[in-house]
Structure 1
Amino acid sequence: MSSSDRRTFLAVLSGLALAGCGFRPAYGPGGVAEGLRGRIAVDPPDTRNAFALVERLEERLGRAEAPLYRLSYRLSTIREGLGISEAQETTRYTLRGELPFQLVDLSTGTTVQSGTIKAFSAYSATGSTVATLAAERDAERRLMVMLADQLVTRLVATAGDRAR
């Protein structure tokens, strides 16, 4: 069996296995998260980091056109020195982010899900002042993407519970 035939065979076999187990794309027709896209109104951002967070959430969930839920959050970040040189200069920083959230059903006003998402990122401070500032902003942006992605994953994973 040639390499190309083997790949085709394995692709078909894996497709059959997924079809047999009841696999459905989360956002696809009949998927558990089908009703989430464009249905969650996210609280407006008030900082640069919150703006990056909301931007990523709306990228993943869509901007709310006819919201069924409201997502409120309280974003906090802490910067800590991680690496110290022999001259007692900090050469590496870590950014820890914490995102307590609450998903509220707009029709009833009840909280349908809440929790806290945590993540961290790091950056080097060994370059020039401009390079260090650019590295810090990049680390902040990466941290916001991680927090948003983890939050969306949690919302999608529990979407079936809300549909019942």
Structure 2
Amino acid sequence: MRAQALLLAAALPLTLGGCGLHPLYAGGASGTVARSLAGVEVAPIEGKAGWLIGNALRDRFAGDGDGKPRYRLDIKLDDHIEGLAVRADYAATRERRSLRARFQLVRLDTQVTVLDATAGSDAGIDVVGSEYATIAAENTALERLSGIVADQITTRVALYARGHPADR
């Protein structure tokens, strides 16, 4: 029984090569995807959420590129807060903050949109008696949602870069 388990454990890594999984960031900072991401400039985005997402994306795309962008990332945001749970006096006790982004990756040499997609996430917020605490919770939710949306955008752009080697 123990010998069979050891044999199975030894054979398992051999089967992973055929499963179709490939590392997205193979080669690290000098890999093709990381170099492609370094060639993406993030266009200015309106509002506080835009500032947060823009900074997060610039951090994620930063690399040792040649400094000349090949793509521009245009993003339009929809940041919405709505009351969910309402008391008898019509005061909200729970809110949902939704952050949605429509983003387009544009090749700068041809001005052709090569990727047009959306990203988004939601967060629940408790509305408490303190207005300061509620505003702080809304801001914390926005910061968290901005990071999540930036991660989703980064992943989609990286997948595009991996799938289109001629665009590098």
If the length of structure 1 is used for normalisation, what is the TM-score?
A: 0.80
Q: 1:22 to 1:100 in 2, by over 3 A?
A: closer
**Paired AA for residue 72 in structure 1:** D
Instruction: Give the SS at the match of 1:34.
Output: helix
Alignment-derived partner of residue 107 in structure 1: 109
- Kindly indicate whether residue 59 of structure 2 is the aligned counterpart of residue 59 of structure 1: yes
**C-alpha distance after superposition, 1:49-97 (max 9, x if no partner):** 1111112212222267331110011112111101112332101111122
Per-residue CA shift, 1:118-152, capped at 9, x if unaligned? 32222111141111110000111112112111111
Map 1:83-102 to 2 at 5 A.
83-102=85-104
Mean CA deviation greater in 91-100 or 131-140? 91-100
Letter in 1 for 2:80: I
* Residues 40 and 15 of structure 1, relative CA distance in 2, 3 Å threshold: farther
Aligned to 2:24: 26
Letter of the 2:88 partner, please give it.
E
1:84 and 1:92 in contact (8 A); partners too:
yes
1:25 alignment partner AA: P
Q: Distance between the aligned counterparts of 2:32 and 2:116, measured in 1?
A: 18
1:162 is matched with which residue? 164
Query: Which structure 2 segments of 5+ residues have no match?
Result: none
Question: Hey, what does 2:155 align to over in structure 1?
Answer: 153
Residue pair 1:112, 1:162 contacting (<8 A) in 2 also: no
2:45/2:75 contact within 8 Å kept: no
Query: Could you list the runs of 4 or more consecutive aligned residues of structure 1 that deviate by over 3 angstroms after TM superposition?
Result: 12-24
2:144 to 121, 142, 145: 142
> Are 1:79 and 1:94, in contact at CA under 8 Å, matched by a contact in 2?
yes
Deviation at 1:45, TM superposition (A): 3.5
Aligned residues: 158
Query: 1:47: Cα distance to partner?
Result: 1.9
Q: Which amino acid aligns with 2:40?
A: I
Contact conserved, 2:37 with 2:157, CA < 8 A, in 1?
A: no
CA-based RMSD of the aligned residues comes to: 2.7
The percent of aligned pairs where both chains have the same amino acid is 30
Instruction: Report if aligned partners of 1:92, 1:123 keep a CA contact under 8 Å in 2.
Output: yes
